[in-house]
Chains A and B, each alone.
Chain A
Amino acid sequence: MKIQEIVHIINGRILTPGLDIGREISRAFSSDLMSDVLTRDYEDTVLITGLANLQAIRTAEMSDIGLIIIARGKEVGEEMVQLAESSDIVLIKSAYSLFRISGLLYEAGIKPIF
């Protein structure tokens, strides 16, 4: 699924407009615990999280995750956006809850990583 389609489904907003949104996403992992995110391997995966801080971006960077959805309408700081841009990680913000975003994307065909 293209990122643009994900944005539409979750009524999201892209915070990193300069980055390529043509990449394909086929799987998702939802977590607020970065320790958990760091224990898995990912391919074409979106991280859905309510943790809006720099370490969410760093965790995605180390885990080779190219797309993050910040859930629950959490405030995303300019430093986060800058770090995501320099790490080539597309950042999307959505007002929906983690459960709702996960459910909508699952229904649309995005697979869990396990």
Chain B
Amino acid sequence: MQQAYKVTGGDFVNAGKASSSVKGILKQLNVPAGLIKRVVVALYEAEVNVAAHAYSGDILVEIDSDQVHIRVADSGPGIEDIQMAMKEGFSTASKEVREMGFGAGMGLANIKKNSDTFHIASVPGEGTTVEIINKLTD
């Protein structure tokens, strides 16, 4: 099963809709709650990152019987130093993003924590792509 979603930069009203939709699908497929939580927390953090930092983003979610493969590709300023961005506490988020309850520099590290396989690639001035793969079997 394949699902595609769009995220708009700066849109904190709709950020989370894709994660909510994926949560509903995984629940219908009777995936254990603990595994669903890992997938949707990782995806939600990625959605918030697009809303907080990018101009727009495309989410592609592929659900198979044994895994969920998520790709979040955004058009945006990109990340100059990925190693630094992965560090807990490092953030370039705006005051507005912090007022929304985010931007504490924990998102990327939390995505990694909630992924079985995590990849991130970025081209400064073009955008960032995050790949999240989670197995659906214990």
| In the complex with contacts A53-B12, A53-B100, A58-B16, A35-B106 CB distance below 8 A | yes
Complex Cα distance A79/B104, Å?
25
Contact A35 B19 (CB under 8 A): no
Contact A34 B37 (CB under 8 A): no
Q: Is B45 part of the contact surface with A, judged by Cβ < 8 Å?
A: yes
Interface code A51-78, partner B: CB below 8 Å = 1, 0 otherwise? 1011110110111100000000000000
- Range of interface residues on B (Cβ < 8 Å): 20 to 34
Smallest CB separation, A50 vs chain B (Å): 10
Complex Cα distance A87/B16, Å?
12
- Range of interface residues on A (Cβ < 8 Å): 20 to 34
Contact A62 B103 (CB under 8 A): no
Identify the closest chain A residue to B107 (Cβ).
A35
Contact B103 A54 (CB under 8 A): no
* B residues 1-33 in Cβ contact with A at 8 Å: 12-13, 15-16, 19-20, 23, 33
For the A-B complex, the count of residue pairs with Cβ-Cβ distances under 8 Å equals: 66
Complex Cα distance A107/B100, Å?
30
Smallest CB separation, A80 vs chain B (Å): 11
* B residues 71-110 in Cβ contact with A at 8 Å: 100-107, 110
Q: Is A33 part of the contact surface with B, judged by Cβ < 8 Å?
A: yes
Contact B104 A33 (CB under 8 A): yes
Q: Which of A39, A51, A62, A79 contacts B106 (CB 8 A)?
A: A39
Please name 16 further chain A to chain B contacts, defined as beta carbons within 8 Å, in addition to the given A39-B113, A58-B20, sorted by A numbering: A34-B102, A35-B105, A35-B107, A36-B106, A38-B41, A38-B106, A39-B110, A55-B12, A55-B16, A55-B101, A55-B102, A58-B44, A61-B16, A62-B19, A63-B41, A64-B37
